[in-house]
Amino acid sequence: MSSYPAAVLFDMDGTLVDSERLWEIALHELAENYGGNLSPAARLAMVGTSMPVSMQILHDDLGQPWRDPAAGTAWLEQRVAELFVDGLPWRPGALALLQAVRVAGIPTALVTSTARVLVDVALDTLGRDRFDVVVCGDEVIAQKPDPLPYLTAARLLAVPIGRCVAIEDSPAGVTSALAAGAAVLAVPGEVPLDVTEGVHLLESLANADLELLTGLLTR
């Protein structure tokens, strides 16, 4: 079908897989190791952001801005990798939609703020052959909410970003995809999403199909 999107660009954490709860476990453990407790507000503020931003939020929340963000990142990534190895549960409808996109021959990209070392573990669940391109947070010089990750995915796929559909769950991710020029399908996860022009909100990917994705390009 010629009107299909040129590509579908998927976020990972909270969009395809229910990994945010695993990040939350690790973040609370790290806060406890620092002798503090992570507040609910700080945790929500971290969703969809880069690791440096998350570490700044954590350290400020604990009243410990002097903490080394690199050391915190290293500890956190190692702990999350251990949690990822046990398997990642798919978000409702995510696997079926991803499979439908692949069967239709539409190019796909995984566009995530997560570092490559963790994405490689997650791909054991997601399936490496389901993505033509993978853009990780530590492989671009600017991360979400900057548009660069999505622009990078479109460039690597050699498709126009304006003919792509990005699927996201966080404010930072939605901002990134919109700024890049993609059509955006947003499925709220841990953080509520505001109604935004150019963004189609959907309660669950179980309600998404190729017809819906295609229709987003004509809105």
Catalytic residues, by residue number, are 11, 13
SS3 string, the chain, reads CCCCCCEEEECCECCCECCHHHHHHHHHHHHHHCCCCCCHHHHHHHCCCCHHHHHHHHHHHCCCCCCCHHHHHHHHHHHHHHHHHCCCCECCCHHHHHHHHHHCCCCEEEECCCCHHHHHHHHHHHCHHHCCEEECHHHCCCCCCCCHHHHHHHHHHCCCHHHEEEEECCHHHHHHHHHHCCEEEECCCCCCCCCCCCEEECCCHHHCCHHHHHHHCCC
Neighbours of 203 (CB within 10 A): 10
Give residue 43's region: left, alpha or beta (phi > 0; psi -120 to 50). alpha
